[in-house]
Amino acid sequence: MADIIKLLPDHVANQIAAGEVVQRPASVVKELLENAIDAGATTIKLIVKDGGKNLIQVVDNGKGMSVTDARLSFERHATSKIQKAEDLFNLNTKGFRGEALASIAAIAHVELLTKTELDEVGTQLKIEGSKVIAQEVTVTPKGTSMLVKNLFFNIPARRNFLKSNQVELRHITDEFHRVALAHPTIAFHFYNNGSELFNLPIVNFRKRIVQIFGGKANSKLVPVNEETQVLKISGFVNKPEFAKKSRGEQFFFVNDRFIKSPYLHHAVVAAFEGLIKPNTYPGYFLCLEVDPGTIDINIHPTKTEVKFDDEHTLYALLRSTIKHSLGQFSVVPAIDFEQDPNLDTPYSYKNKQAEIPQVTVDASFNPFANEVEKPKSTSNAAGTSFANYTKPSNKGWENLYEGLGTKKDDSAPFTSMEFESEVITGSIFKEEKVEDESVSTTFQLRRKYIVTTIKSGMVVIDQSRAHQRVLYEKFLKNITIQEAVSQQLLFPISLHFSTTDVIILKEIQGQLISIGFAFKIVDKEVVEITGVPLQVAESEVEMVLEQLILDYQMEITGDSFSQTDILAKTLSKTLSVKTGTVLGATSQQALVNDLFACKVPGLSPFNKPTYVTITENDIDKKFI
């Protein structure tokens, strides 16, 4: 039998390895940023075009590479971080596997510019699909500039699986956030299609969080600090009242490396037990420092999952530390008797001596000096004196009965009474009776269902899902026809969002305007609302927009139809009648009519039934 096992060529092996390392443009961004950090850079620039599909460039001012190192860096399993197997268990750097650059060069056009501080000139290297096209001497500043163009140019199938530019940019932004948060001592610059998205100077950890997530994030943070022989914990957690329904602002950094750990996440949630609502999650930015020998980083190709030697100890320490911080900064509710602020002493009276009030008294005053002696008088058994009693005059008592003796028409007072009887026996009573018969066809059950009758039986309608369907189709129609009515606000509302949230609002600004929102972006973090749809109350604007941004972050979609669908679903879910709301008879009947006027009345926007039909035969079967 002929031999069938053969060694793969290097370029094919690199393409297979690229499937593990490079999943999308965000994977390239992560690897290049980590290499720049390992090079000791203090300033890093990230330049992206078309969601990273056509260009990803990372420029740093690190120590650079020599000519030989520049050529060897693109070979498989070439690295400067480890020399023997034992080094894998004592890692203090980011990139160490030696596969990233080789994998990226196998599926893209790569151009490298690098120079060390001691060299007078640098090196320029061009590679296309693992093939070195050119290697030249060039003039370049100290550091390294890596350009990655036309990602997956030689694997069209993989390129077709990429999402839209907005979605890929969102993934790149997430990776940028993770790296920038872990290294506040490095200045980062992020440019997308020629415009600057982030300009992050060197600051402390708290200010870096505020730079990325907006100014309002500063008031949410509660410091967390603890140092033991096993673990050092530092960072911040959000206050319980800012817990969200999604796992958005949740970051674990172990030895300055972002990780995902469901076990440690459970420890944080356990620390907030009793402080947050069910099905909500707290935000946190926690940095953990452990001995590198006690963790295994190389258990996942993306190195976002690690394995700890003693997870139970870390769990207990993390949970107790967060509980202590919440109690130390008076976040946990406690028994306290509030003091009236009116009783507090002003600062201006702090060192002032007490003054005795001056009270003047007239010592010669005698209230009985001018009293005239009263004559003696008799009194009754109760002790009441009759000496000064004067009988009132009864003159003019005849005027009280004036006019009562004259005869007048006695039927006049009863005219109004006959008029009232006519109102009772009129046709208005019959109209009310007809209206009662129509209203009685619907009634509300347990503030959740609306029951109405049909010819074959009755229909039980879920009021919340039914209203969602009605609003969903109405919003879709308004977005498509673009004839929505906007209610202009007398005083504009200024709302603060993070830079990432403002980017999402820019993406869907057209759809929001078509359903009645009118707003303009004042700053990178400030949005001014001047008009809202008729269905949205002024007090609900911020809640609706936050829920909308949250759904866009959870639903990774790209085409315009999906964006419109998410927008309509979010608004219908947020503005619909909730379970527990009491509906009047008129509102019940209107909801029933609007539901069955929809194109798909049987399903909610989330594919759940809106009503069930109970026929007369179904009822009869219950009595058999």
84 and 151: one domain?
A: yes
299 has pLDDT over 80: no
Q: Does residue 96 belong to any structural domain of this protein?
A: yes
142 and 236: one domain?
A: no
Total Cβ atoms within 10 A of residue 619: 11
Distance, CA of 474 to CA of 228 (rounded, Å):
58
- 110, 104 contact by CB (below 8 A): yes
Structure tokens that stand for 481 in this block: 């026809």
Q: Does residue 352 belong to any structural domain of this protein?
A: no
Distance of alpha carbon 609 from its chain centroid, rounded?
28
147 and 235: one domain?
A: no
Q: Does residue 182 belong to any structural domain of this protein?
A: yes
Distance, CA of 323 to CA of 435 (rounded, Å):
60
The candidate with the shortest Cα–Cα distance to 33, out of 185, 175, 174, 165, is 175
Point out the domain boundary residue: 143, 170, 200: 200
Sheet-wide strand order for 449-454: 442-445, 449-454, 457-462, 611-615
121 and 236: one domain?
A: no
Q: Does residue 591 belong to any structural domain of this protein?
A: yes
- pLDDT-derived band at 283 (thresholds 50, 70, 90) equals very high
CATH of the domain at 542: 3.30.1370.100
Q: Does residue 224 belong to any structural domain of this protein?
A: yes
Point out the domain boundary residue: 181, 200, 219: 200
178 and 140: one domain?
A: yes
Distance, CA of 237 to CA of 249 (rounded, Å):
10
Total Cβ atoms within 10 A of residue 573: 18
Q: Which of 276-280, 303-307, 342-346 has the lowest mean pLDDT?
A: 342-346
What is the structure's pLDDT at 300? 60
560 has pLDDT over 90: no
Stretch 378-404: mean pLDDT: 62
Q: Does residue 133 belong to any structural domain of this protein?
A: yes
- pLDDT-derived band at 360 (thresholds 50, 70, 90) equals confident
Among the residues of 493-580, which ranges form H helices? 499-507, 509-514, 541-554, 560-575
173 and 276: one domain?
A: no
What is the structure's pLDDT at 478? 81
- pLDDT-derived band at 421 (thresholds 50, 70, 90) equals very low
Range of the domain at 526: 457-611
* pLDDT, greater one: 548 or 388: 548
Q: Which of 385-389, 511-515, 614-618 has the lowest mean pLDDT?
A: 385-389
Distance, CA of 145 to CA of 621 (rounded, Å):
78
Sheet-wide strand order for 486-496: 486-496, 526-533, 518-521
Stated pTM of the model: 0.71
Backbone torsions φ then ψ of 352, nearest 5 degrees: -85, 140
488 and 605: one domain?
A: yes
Q: What is the per-residue pLDDT across 212-266, written as a single tens digit (0 to 9) for each? A: 988 888 889 999 999 998 899 999 999 998 888 777 789 999 988 899 888 999 9
Q: What is the mean pLDDT of the chain?
A: 82
For residue 222, give the 3-state DSSP assignment: strand
Q: Does residue 186 belong to any structural domain of this protein?
A: yes
225 and 324: one domain?
A: yes
Stretch 318-345: mean pLDDT: 72
How many structural domains does the chain have? 3
CATH of the domain at 274: 3.30.230.10
For residue 604, give the 3-state DSSP assignment: coil
225 and 96: one domain?
A: no
605 and 535: one domain?
A: yes
What is the structure's pLDDT at 563? 73
589 has pLDDT over 70: yes
What is the structure's pLDDT at 162? 87
Structure tokens that stand for 243 in this block: 């817990």
- pLDDT-derived band at 559 (thresholds 50, 70, 90) equals low
224 and 283: one domain?
A: yes
Point out the domain boundary residue: 301, 328, 355: 328
87 and 192: one domain?
A: yes
- 208, 201 contact by CB (below 8 A): no
What is the structure's pLDDT at 425? 46
Q: Does residue 195 belong to any structural domain of this protein?
A: yes
- 504, 549 contact by CB (below 8 A): yes
Strands 187-192 and 43-49: parallel
CATH of the domain at 98: 3.30.565.10
